[in-house]
Amino acid sequence: MLVECLINVNVIGYIYEWLNCNGIVGILFIGEAAMIYKGKIMTDPAIMLGKPIIKGTRITVEHVLRKLSEGMTVEELLEVYPHLTKEDILAALSYSADVIELEELIAT
pLDDT value, residue 97: 84
pLDDT tens per residue across span 66-95 = 999 999 999 999 999 999 999 999 889 988
What gap in Å lies between CA 18 and CA 108, rounded to an integer? 32
- Give the rounded distance of the alpha carbon of 21 from its chain centre: 19
Which of 53, 25, 36, 54 lies closest to 97 in space, CA to CA? 36
Is this structure's pTM higher than 0.75?
A: no
What gap in Å lies between CA 85 and CA 88, rounded to an integer? 5
